[in-house]
Structure 1
Amino acid sequence: MSTAVHFGAGNIGRGFVGLLLHEAGYEVVFADVDRDLIARLDAAERYTVHEVGAGARDHAVTRFRAIDSGAADPSALVAELAGAALVTTAVGPRVLRFIAPHVLAALRARPAGLPPLGVMACENAINATDLLRDEVVALAEPGEWAELAPRAVFANTAVDRIVPGQPDASSLDVTVEAFFEWAIERGPFAGDEPRIPGAHFVDELAPYIERKLFTVNTGHATTAYAGALAGHHRLSAALADPAVRAVVEGALGETSALIVAEHGFSRAEQDAYRERILERFANPELPDTVERVGRQPLRKLSRHERFIAPAARLAERGAPVEGLLAAIAAALRFDVPEDAESVELGALLDDLDPVSFVVRVTGIEPGHPLHDPLVERVEAAAAGRARG
């Protein structure tokens, strides 16, 4: 039986990527730094993924193992990776650099005669697998990568499934929505794609990545930030509020225009996709909260993320961005003391002048058509904090 090593044994890892790898026939080895979680997985013979929504069913996951990826001695992890067929991640883009040394060591140790190791970073980021590959290449010795490169295939992916915060953190079972999408670029595999029935391989991934990021992720975060500002706790309740929904639809109307203009989806196709996304957010069976969805606001406000990237490109086209600016303004007011980035966001609003804040947080420099409107929103957010 072929092995797939998956970094990130949390809810997304168990309830989405790990599940699909299991159903594709792989023995899944979950790698994580959470020793308690690893111990519970090691002691379990199965866990259940509970779907909610149309077409929902339960899935029992078996044939898995777990390994501590933060252990002082990484030799056991490297051995797993060196003999694996696939490596996947669901850890967050910023954590990929900590995985790169393990991948590099595995490529060095990969036995001769094995097919290339398939590497796919399943993150909410554009070309996340490229980011991981670049980290691996940067760690290699001068001239070494030419020898190691044929031992791996790095393929970008686009992933989409809502996995909310779970009511029982001690349980390995996971509740997820029934809908999911896992698109993988076909080209790097050169006609020898792994068999993953739940995934689909596409010749051009960028349109799928950006359609998902600028619809699902932009809409999800906008619902959270506008909902939090309106005093809601549950995401579904936030979207049921007409004022919140108007903010969400305003932002997604603009990102939809960009997607149609740049990626060739028809207006009707994108409209139908957007409406389906909003139906998913409104699902009352998903116990998601604005606090969970809105966490890490600084990352979500960065240059190549779900708000600034589409707003910048629209502004460069001379297209409207008021809807996205309203979403950004709500994000600037996200105040959740339990979230470290929320606290840091507030400190930066207090300590930096608006121009410095915009450059540092969003990466938009003076002279860009989006710069001055962003400065205005930051000024308003800072003034609101000062009034207390």
Structure 2
Amino acid sequence: MSSAKRGGIFTGFGFGAIQAGLFTLEALRENAFEQVVVCEISGALVERVRANDGLFSVNIAHPDGIETLELGPIDILNPESATDRKLIVEQLAHSREAATAVPSVDVYTAGGSGSIHQLLAEASLAERNAPLVVYTAENDNRAAELLADAVRGAAELPEGDFNRRISFVNTVIAKMSGVITAPEEIASRGLETLAPGHGSAILVEKFNRILVSTPRLPPGGSWQPSFSTFETREDLLPFEEAKLHGHNGVHAMGAYLAELLGRTRMDDLESVSGAVDCLHGALVDESGAALLKKYGGIDELFTPAGFARHAEELIPRMLNPHLGDLVARVARDPGRKLGWNDRLAGTLRLGLETGIDMPRFALAAAAALAYLDPSLKNSADAPGPILQSLWKKDAPAAAEAAAVCSLIEAGLERLRTVPPDHLFT
């Protein structure tokens, strides 16, 4: 932990796993700011942290055990309180960096005068020597642009003044995390709740290497993240695709195949013959090979050696028994994960685009479809009608949709005819 604070304020919106277990944790652990402020709309959580003198706890899953840190103090404010809203705007006006880590980009404009975009718009009216840089951590590759547009519209400043005062960056956050709410699991695993008397515990993995886009700055301006483990990239799109088609896709694959075997935890796959090799092969030989064809050489990650190192690091993280990721959590919302642009069908499309065969991803998509509609495991029904309904809003070209559907149908046939404990071989 750094001994000298570097000054300025960090303000975070939301206080879930990523805000508490990444941004706020690292800001405090690195002494990167003079003051850390959190904006949270749960009045009960705000009161619990305040009653604990601004201290909170985060549980960190290492390969060999769980570490619990008590962190703080922070100033925690509720934007639904008029008094706190005024304080939030004042703190934002003096903040060096801020971060949004809320359930979706739709939250940006929700909440009236206490909404994120309104608070940032009010803060942007103050003159500054350097722009406030806002990290957007929501699962949308245009989050920064969406928030910038909302704040710009609310602030109604001349474009030059707006750009001098505030800037927004996208992020690629590959840190696995969760909020544990079951009292028996919290107790059995020896976790500390976020604050005394609060009903949930934050559990995050140790990994904290985060990629961020470069902000729009005034002429001659320069910027580096205040977080030592954050790295900037001019173009985040290749890395967003690597996370979606690689990390997210293989994570989902493991969950749906584990569910077929009746397993409840992701780390259970360690004891399934061929499972780890299957996931590794999907990551390197299928999605990885396609990503290297598309982006080969633009970064160390997109080289055979770089992607192989990535796979060797990532698979054990996914199956870390101390993270204890539940199959049901990873497998939830299969309809979204089978979406035209998402981690399963989207990865199969990448394979078609690059000429890379993806039998493991086809099987994973079939398993996700069977999770969505269990009757498909024991019937001869074709998957086309369900897939077409999932993809309808994207209006895909008929030929490409038919090609992806055919791949998933082949995976479904294998799922129907091969015993579950032989699917990995």
Same fold by TM (over 0.5)?
A: yes
8 Å Cα contact 2:105/2:140 also seen in 1: no
Between the aligned partners of 2:265 and 2:288, the Cα distance in structure 1 is 25
Give the TM-score, by structure 2 length: 0.74
Contact conserved, 1:222 with 1:247, CA < 8 A, in 2? no
Q: 1:187 to 1:170 in 2, by over 3 A?
A: closer
Q: Which amino acid aligns with 1:52?
A: A
Deviations 1:39-89 (A, max 9, x none): 222222323333332587554311312222455888334444333222212
Given the alignment, which residue of 68, 80, 102 partners 2:116? Answer: 102
Equivalent position of 1:8 in the other structure: 14
Aligned to 1:22: 28
Aligned to 2:327: 290
> Is 1:274 matched up with 2:307?
no
Say which of 183, 186, 199 aligns to 2:230. Answer: 199
Question: Given that residues 28 and 71 in structure 2 are in contact (C-alpha distance below 8 angstroms), is that contact kept between their aligned partners in structure 1?
Answer: yes
Q: Which amino acid aligns with 2:60?
A: E
Match among 180, 186, 191 for residue 214 of structure 2: 186
- Residue 121 of structure 1 aligns with which residue? 136
Is contact 1:89–1:121 with CA below 8 Å preserved after alignment? Answer: yes
Change in CA separation of 1:136 and 1:255 when aligned onto 2, cut-off 3 Å: farther
- Report Cα offsets for 1:207-262 as digits up to 9, x if no partner: 33332333222222222222223211111003532365465345423110122122
- Aligned ranges 1:281-320 → 2 under 5 Å: 281-320=318-357
CA contact (8 A) 1:123 1:159 kept: no
Letter in 1 for 2:56: Y
Q: What percentage of residue pairs aligned between the two structures are identical?
A: 23
Q: Does 1:159 align with 2:173?
A: yes
- Paired AA for residue 50 in structure 1: N
Distance 1:51 1:366, change over 3 A: same
Give the Cα separation in 2 of the matches to 1:292 and 1:355.
22
Residue of structure 1 in register with 2:198 after alignment: none
Counterpart CA distance in 2 for 1:254 and 1:67 is: 46
1:346 corresponds to: none
Partner of 1:84: 95
Other-structure match for 2:74:
64
Alpha-carbon contact 1:97-1:132 (below 8 Å) kept:
yes
Answer yes or no: is the 8 Å Cα contact 1:226–1:247 preserved in 2: no
Secondary structure of 1:220's counterpart equals: helix
Deviation string for 1:89-140 (max 9, x for gaps)? 2224444543695334433443113421111112344343233324444x44
| Greater mean alpha carbon deviation, residues 149-158 or residues 365-374 | 365-374
1:130 paired residue among 145, 163, 179: 145
Gaps of 5+ in 2: 1-6, 195-200, 375-380, 416-425
Gap runs ≥5 in structure 1: 337-341, 343-348
Q: Distance in 2 between matches of 1:82 and 1:54?
A: 40
What residue number does 2:400 align with? 369
Larger radius of gyration: 2
For residue 257 of structure 2, give the secondary structure of its aligned residue in structure 1: helix
Distance in 1, Cα, partners of 2:363 & 2:83? 48
Kindly indicate whether residue 72 of structure 2 is the aligned counterpart of residue 52 of structure 1. Answer: no
Cα pair distance change 1:186/1:144, threshold 3 Å: closer
Structural RMSD (CA) = 3.7
Q: Distance in 2 between matches of 1:84 and 1:99?
A: 22
The 3-state SS of whatever aligns with 2:173 is: strand
Distance 1:357 1:378 in 2: 16
1:103 alignment partner, SS class:
helix
1:82 partner amino acid: A
Match of 1:149 in 2: 163
Change (3 A) 1:11 1:199: same
**297-306 or 277-286: bigger deviation:** 297-306
**3-state SS, counterpart of residue 216 of structure 2:** helix
Instruction: Determine the C-alpha separation between the residues in 2 that align with 1:286 and 1:154.
Output: 31
Q: Would the aligned equivalents of 1:107 and 1:148 in 2 still touch at CA under 8 Å?
A: no
Go from structure 1 to structure 2 and tell me whether the alpha carbon gap of 1:6 and 1:109 turns closer, same or farther (over 3 Å shift): closer
| 3-state SS, counterpart of residue 160 of structure 1 | coil
Does structure 2 conserve the Cα–Cα contact (< 8 Å) formed by 1:365 and 1:371? no
Query: CA offsets, 1:133-189, max 9 Å, x none?
Result: 24444x448885554233211122221222244343981163322222112223535
Note closer, same or farther for the CA distance 1:175–1:214 as it changes in structure 2 (3 Å cut): same
Q: Alignment length, in residue pairs?
A: 371
The 1-side partners of 2:16 and 2:387 are apart by 38
Residue among 41, 55, 64 paired with 2:49: 41
SS at match of 1:20: helix
Measured in 1, the distance between the counterparts of 2:163 and 2:98 equals: 15
Give, in whole Å, the separation in 2 of the partners of 1:149 and 1:353.
Answer: 48
* 1:254 partnered with 2:286: yes
Q: TM-score, normalised by structure 1?
A: 0.80
| CA spacing shift, 1:378–1:75, aligned 2, 3 Å | farther
Aligned to 2:423: none
Q: Which secondary structure state, in structure 2, belongs to the residue aligned with residue 319 of structure 1?
A: coil
